[in-house]
Amino acid sequence: MLKNVLALIYVALSWGSAFALIKYAEETISPLTVQAGRCTIGFIALLILSIVLKRDIKGHAKYWFAWLVFAVLGIAYLWIVIAVGEEYISSGLTSVLVTVTPLVTFIITVFILRTERFNILGGIGLMVGVLGLVLVVGIKNILGGSSTLIGALLIASGFAVFAINGIIAPRLASGTDPIVSTTYYTGIGTVLIWVAAFIFESPLKTHLTLANSVDEVFMGVISFASGFVVYYWLLNRVGAFFSSMTFYLIPIVGMASGFIMFKEKITLTQVVGILIVFVGVYLINRVKFKGT
């Protein structure tokens, strides 16, 4: 149990801080190029780690279809919409939207796949969680159809797709090495994001500085490579339901990072909304958490 909790905290720290770091990099590098760069560095780090640890890279090639699915759902789509969405909203708000993942996980596992039993508290938690997200995004932004709403919807769709990936992953590649598997789908995802970057941007014209280079390396090695290895290790160890609880912690880290780096404004309504989201997600996972 302690290892599981520590893994949740580590993923929250590595992923939660990434949103502010992405925002910082986007000040000097175009959005998709930022993501392509950090994915490339993450892939290289993972490949080196796999080789040093003498993992069975060749043997895992037979799971190519699983790696393709993970690359599209868990890497390419998610990070492309985050790159575009953060042009419209703050890094702190982006971090709060990760809570869409456990909410969508609940909907799919309970109502569609029915691998989890429905309970009243879970249903209430779902409604409470959605209410909290509405408050965080802002009723004015939702009713007015502002750019904030566009950014929020884009990023929310990314985390919804990521939830689907988290459910599919253990089924398609059960028992695989988390380091090698992450290396494979990161590599494929990197190619997909670079393709998008060259179509919509001009990566070769990117002006690199010491600051944005260090930022990219940190995101690639820590936020991306190590974060995904630990997350998928946890996913294979305890499944999608428990793993989704890391998304309780990410908003706290993300909001704090955004405030520290950019002095992003945090309103009382947003704080209340975040707390309501936490209550909703807790209610959804209350029974499951007691059983772990």
Chain segment 60-101, per-residue pLDDT in tens: 999 999 999 999 999 999 999 999 999 999 999 999 998 898
Question: What pTM was computed for the model?
Answer: 0.86
Averaged confidence pLDDT in the chain: 89
Residue 172 pLDDT level (bands cut at 50, 70, 90):
confident
Over residues 23-49, the mean pLDDT reads: 96
Domain limits of the chain? Answer: 2-118+145-264
Enumerate residues 6+ apart whose C-beta is below 8 A from 97.
Answer: 133, 152, 155, 156, 159
Amino acid at 131: L
> What are the tokens at 240?
């999608």
Tokens 């190519």 correspond to 64
* Helix H or strand E encompassing 6: helix 2-16
Enumerate residues 6+ apart whose C-beta is below 8 A from 5.
Answer: none
